[in-house]
């Protein structure tokens, strides 16, 4: 999922200096602290994660504070309910392995009570099953970087699917890259490399694009094929296969409108004729006090996934390699545990074959 606190509740745009007369000094922007909610439940096995932060007063740099000590639960329309457990260091709440799982056709909502006793709820949403991904394929590109003699190469990954005959279908596409690593702790030495310590177990780094928001509706193509949907570009950083999992999400109309608004907001460059900064309307409401402002969205989402290995063996020239990592022997400690987080996991990816 995208990191909403990077974009909400407001984006501040760069200062515009128009001439050599007097530099314009804008007033400091002050915001009332507000809860920011990120999360969803899907029809795929959990655990599901909900992140709670609170906006802080700021001028040019947005800083969000962790909302700790809250009671967070997911409920469905059949009386099933699970209370999420807060994860260290705080502000992140997660269902248990084998806990509640979304089911297509059922309706879900998020309930939050902060440690100060303020109660929030999301508007109920029904999960609609996502159509299957029919095909993933790549196209190699080797392009000249504008204004330089350097070339940038990579593999664009595309998706084909088929929209159902029913109207009112909304989509979002996300991807996750897993890369096996052997060094779990490293630090830069000078400007030419790293020194590190090996992982104690198998370990994978996780890469996602948090500001890549790709959404679509079937308003113009109802019941037709969706072909050549660009998902991402695999970089030429190695000759080894590049493992990626692609996720096709079936959104509610409300979630589609929310992510479409976020996409429009974050793509705004701050130019002279850009629209003014604005908050994005979500589906979270404060039950204790309806006048309290809340940001974010809790979605109920149907998901279809497919793995893909990008063949990078035919890349031209030398890959764009990172600085080497030197592991001295012996090290103290002898190895480092592979942390389980948003960015790293000791759990083998579902379709990993190498």
Quickly state the pLDDT bin for 64 (edges 50, 70, 90): low
pLDDT for 29 equals 52
Q: Is residue 350 part of a domain?
A: no
What SS3 state is found at 228?
strand
353: left (phi over 0), alpha (psi -120 to 50) or beta: alpha
Least trusted range by pLDDT, from 37-41, 85-89, 138-142: 85-89
Quickly state the pLDDT bin for 18 (edges 50, 70, 90): very low
User: What does DSSP assign to residue 190?
Assistant: T
pLDDT for 300 equals 97
Give the sign of the dihedral formed by CA 67, CA 68, CA 69, CA 75.
Answer: positive
DSSP symbols for 133-151: EEEEEEEEEEEEPTTSS-E
d(CA 300, CA 150): 45
Who's near 94: CB < 8 A, 6+ residues apart? 47, 48, 49, 50, 84, 85, 87
HSE-CB for 12 with a 13 A CA cutoff: 15
Domain count, the chain: 1
d(CA 346, CA 178): 11
Residue 11 has pLDDT above 50, yes or no: no
User: What does DSSP assign to residue 336?
Assistant: B
What SS3 state is found at 4?
helix
Quickly state the pLDDT bin for 288 (edges 50, 70, 90): very high
16's tokens: 């515009």
Q: Is residue 291 part of a domain?
A: yes
Q: Is residue 354 part of a domain?
A: no
Closest CA to 185 of 344, 354, 321: 344
Residue 151 has pLDDT above 70, yes or no: yes
3's tokens: 């990191």
Mean pLDDT of the chain: 87
Q: Is residue 245 part of a domain?
A: yes
Q: Is residue 351 part of a domain?
A: no
Q: Is residue 239 part of a domain?
A: yes
Average pLDDT of the residues in 23-37? 65
What SS3 state is found at 258?
helix
d(CA 180, CA 198): 12
Q: ∠ CA 26-66-108 to the nearest 5 degrees?
A: 110
Q: Is residue 252 part of a domain?
A: yes
Residue 31 has pLDDT above 70, yes or no: no
Range of the domain at 171: 4-345
Specify which of 53-57, 148-152, 203-207, 208-212 reaches the highest per-range mean pLDDT. 203-207
Residue 229 to residues 1, 159, 215, 288, 332, Cα–Cα distance (Å): 19, 5, 10, 43, 48
Pairing of strands 284-286, 325-326: unpaired
Q: What's the pLDDT tens digit per position in 220-278? A: 899 999 999 999 999 999 999 999 999 999 999 999 999 999 988 877 655 544 454 45
Q: What's the pLDDT tens digit per position in 158-215? A: 999 999 999 999 999 999 999 999 999 998 887 778 999 999 999 999 999 988 899 9
Q: What's the pLDDT tens digit per position in 107-132? A: 999 999 999 999 999 999 999 999 99
pLDDT for 192 equals 73
Q: Is residue 295 part of a domain?
A: yes
């Amino acid at each position: 999922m995208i990191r909403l606190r990077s974009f909400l509740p407001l984006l501040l745009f760069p200062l515009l200096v128009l001439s050599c007369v007097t530099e314009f000094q804008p007033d400091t922007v002050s915001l009332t602290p507000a809860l920011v909610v990120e999360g969803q439940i899907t029809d795929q096995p959990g655990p599901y994660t909900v992140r709670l932060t609170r906006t802080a007063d700021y001028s040019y740099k947005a800083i969000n504070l962790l909302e700790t000590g809250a009671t967070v639960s997911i409920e469905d329309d059949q009386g099933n309910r699970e209370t999420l457990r807060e994860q260290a260091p705080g502000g992140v709440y997660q269902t248990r392995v084998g806990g509640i799982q979304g089911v297509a056709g059922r309706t879900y909502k998020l309930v939050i009570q902060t440690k100060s006793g303020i109660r929030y709820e999301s508007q109920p949403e029904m999960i609609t099953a996502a159509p299957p991904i029919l095909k993933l394929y790549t196209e190699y590109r080797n392009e000249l970087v504008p204004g330089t003699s350097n070339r940038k190469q990579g593999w664009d990954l595309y998706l084909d699917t088929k929209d159902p005959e029913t109207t009112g279908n909304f989509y979002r596409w996300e991807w996750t890259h897993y890369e096996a690593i052997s060094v779990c702790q490293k630090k830069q030495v000078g400007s030419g490399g790293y020194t590190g310590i090996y992982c104690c177990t198998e370990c994978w780094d996780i890469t996602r694009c948090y500001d890549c928001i790709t959404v679509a509706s079937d308003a113009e193509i109802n019941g037709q094929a969706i072909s050549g949907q660009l998902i991402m570009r695999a970089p030429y950083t190695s000759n080894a296969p590049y493992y990626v999992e692609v996720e096709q999400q079936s959104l509610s109309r409300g979630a589609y409108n929310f992510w479409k608004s976020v996409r429009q907001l974050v793509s705004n460059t701050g130019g002279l004729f850009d629209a003014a900064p604005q908050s994005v309307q979500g589906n979270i409401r404060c039950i204790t006090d309806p006048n309290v402002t809340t940001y974010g969205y809790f979605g109920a989402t149907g998901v279809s996934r497919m793995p893909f290995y990008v063949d990078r063996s035919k890349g031209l020239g030398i890959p764009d390699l990172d600085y080497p990592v030197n592991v001295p022997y012996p090290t103290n400690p002898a190895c480092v545990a592979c942390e389980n987080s948003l960015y790293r996991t000791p759990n083998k990816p579902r379709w990993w074959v190498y």
